[in-house]
Chains A and B, each alone.
Chain A
């Protein structure tokens, strides 16, 4: 069979906040051989009843359709939304980027961070930890630039996303 080109899709999954629910979602992806490019999960309801899982996945359209259907039939899943298919939405991720160095490199790191609107959240005389948030591409670019000025390590949250406009999903 000829395979259609792979597409990147951002899915929002609203689930009952019960024990093991994340394992169900993640296990479904691994058992059926679907990709997880990024995954975030947190409780988003006032009464701690519902968690929102954001998954960035990739695959041909038929596979994305199948992922949606498979997720939707899990018992504790309230709703599954393909934000990419639904239209305009914002995607953000946050990263903490540690850079070590002295002299010109240190100055350059701070200057680049300023251009990217990354904020130093920890500093020593020989290092910074920058907090940066934005699209995955922006975070990627920043991390790449930091490599040249003393990148030590990176921690990233993965993507969270929400549809534009006044409506709730």
Chain B
């Protein structure tokens, strides 16, 4: 009997099962913060060396760091937080990942099973709270199911349209024992996303593109989520069809920024040519984007005379806000692959789009991202532009916070490859950029990672300066400091009679001293003449560096389509007034 029990696999504690399952899943790094309800898991982490734990300073940052890791590596990010406030602090990050379709797995501690529902210390209904801001969630009540649930959580997070999955782990489950068997390939009994697109529909799409006179490829974050191969195939499709390409905020990097067929980003702060081409096209091919309100503007004036094709892995995205003529459910990478095959096998020719391109050239000539840098005051656009030009060779990974600086970064920083641009698009979460940069740096130790920030946003997760220094992460923060919550101020100027209610960033810290207090290097740039040397110093300084770049305070971000306005009703500069600046406009976000 003794020999039999010696050969049988030893039962593991729930905490050990979690760590073993994460190891088997190839997890290299988890972002977390300990607390009473996760102590057994932290103890199990203490006894191993395969998984690196990064101690953040706030649970929201753990989730954004996991997102930054996921977006920059293409692998799922993992976060570990305690029950109650640990879980509720994570909710913003989880919702952010939901909105931007980012694959992460969030492990939350929970009070022991027998205390659930008693209002125990640090108890909250985590699965209830996260039910509608996660792709899926679990409350583990049986330790024998724990290993499978962890594996299943990763499968759900990464399969189909990616998203956050929450696994709530009562403390008694963490100490109970069970056998852990590494499962094989996960075949979920109900969740089977459609990966391949319908071939008949793909053939029809190719014929429509070949017949179009004014086509446009409208591409989004789905192409980035689908993997680098999808971006490659998009470029090939663009070549074969000769069609202009625009991307959403989330899609920047799917096509090189200096590609002749690239019209720049579209939407509220997109380029004039991209929005006009969307409006005037006769065929719109939407690839992995979702007709967000920031993209469409006024819906009843959105691309009124075009046929529309929509490729999306999420069936519910198709016909959600814009009715399309041809919907194709599938992974955009697989659909693009099939489109290329069909195009080639049918020997479809590149249509003659000379007239269309001539029209586009006219719109391009407006130079809608143009600005004037004069005098010693630094224009924010100039700051971003020089940052781009001086770091381009290093192919940096850029994260952002949310607001004007984010839009200027999208307009003036160029991206040549996917997974280099990490920004909170759907939820618009201030405080995203620094923790995301930390996650990206951990996933890409040799990359130059820069958080382009605003002086207001950066303060929302400023405590993470400590995390970066603890793990010697050479993250750079470039604060575009205009002493205003700039986008709020801009909307107050345009829609609320310049009444700047609570949008001035009063009582700012001395960012240089603050950086130094955390062990960072702080650099201040105040003059246009010092911009290049300041940026060069930032790049040359080893370790983490915060740059406080003082810019013109009242610059607005143009071009702009006001909320509820049409693509054709674009403000190109301060002299353009929109027709929508009335009460209706004030009700729109």
A65 in contact (CB, < 8 A): yes
| Stretch of A17-25, A81-89, A119-127 on the interface side | A17-25
Contact check, B315 vs A69: say whether CB atoms are below 8 A apart.
yes
Digitize B312-323: 1 where CB-to-A-CB distance is under 8 Å, 0 elsewhere: 001110111001
A62 with B319: in contact, given A16-B190, A75-B135, A78-B190 (CB under 8 Å)?
A: yes
Contact check, A20 vs B316: say whether CB atoms are below 8 A apart.
no
Contact check, A1 vs B316: say whether CB atoms are below 8 A apart.
no
Contact check, A69 vs B316: say whether CB atoms are below 8 A apart.
yes
Contact check, A73 vs B323: say whether CB atoms are below 8 A apart.
no
Whole-angstrom distance between the Cβ of B411 and the nearest chain A Cβ: 30
Whole-angstrom distance between the Cβ of B32 and the nearest chain A Cβ: 24
Whole-angstrom distance between the Cβ of A89 and the nearest chain B Cβ: 23
Bin chain B's interface residue count.
20 to 34
A65 with B190: in contact, given A23-B128, A24-B131, A73-B314 (CB under 8 Å)?
A: no
Whole-angstrom distance between the Cβ of A36 and the nearest chain B Cβ: 16
Residue of A nearest to B133 (CB): A31
Whole-angstrom distance between the Cβ of A32 and the nearest chain B Cβ: 10
Residue of B nearest to A73 (CB): B316
**Complexed CA–CA distance, A62 and B316 (Å):** 11
Contact check, A72 vs B316: say whether CB atoms are below 8 A apart.
yes
Contact check, B316 vs A28: say whether CB atoms are below 8 A apart.
no
B510 in contact (CB, < 8 A): no
**Complexed CA–CA distance, A119 and B189 (Å):** 43
A65 with B319: in contact, given A1-B300, A73-B314 (CB under 8 Å)?
A: yes
B contact residues around A75 at 8 Å (CB):
135-136, 156, 188, 190-191
Digitize A8-22: 1 where CB-to-B-CB distance is under 8 Å, 0 elsewhere: 000000001001100
A66 with B190: in contact, given A23-B128, A27-B132 (CB under 8 Å)?
A: no
**Which residues of B175-199 are within 8 A (CB) of A?**
188-191
**Complexed CA–CA distance, A57 and B157 (Å):** 30
**Complexed CA–CA distance, A76 and B72 (Å):** 30
**Complexed CA–CA distance, A132 and B390 (Å):** 79
Whole-angstrom distance between the Cβ of A73 and the nearest chain B Cβ: 6
Contact check, B139 vs A1: say whether CB atoms are below 8 A apart.
no
B326 in contact (CB, < 8 A): no
A72 with B315: in contact, given A16-B190, A77-B190, A78-B190 (CB under 8 Å)?
A: yes
Whole-angstrom distance between the Cβ of B487 and the nearest chain A Cβ: 27
**Which residues of B312-340 are within 8 A (CB) of A?**
314-316, 318-320, 323
Residue of B nearest to A16 (CB): B190
**Which residues of B142-201 are within 8 A (CB) of A?**
156, 160-161, 188-191
**Complexed CA–CA distance, A114 and B320 (Å):** 49
**Complexed CA–CA distance, A19 and B299 (Å):** 39
**Complexed CA–CA distance, A69 and B314 (Å):** 9
**Complexed CA–CA distance, A63 and B161 (Å):** 21
A-B contact pairs, 7 of them (CB 8 A): A1-B300, A20-B127, A28-B132, A69-B316, A69-B318, A69-B320, A75-B188
Inter-chain pairs besides A20-B139, A28-B132, A76-B190, 12 sampled, C-beta below 8 Å: A1-B300, A19-B139, A19-B141, A20-B128, A24-B131, A66-B316, A66-B319, A70-B316, A75-B136, A75-B188, A77-B190, A78-B190
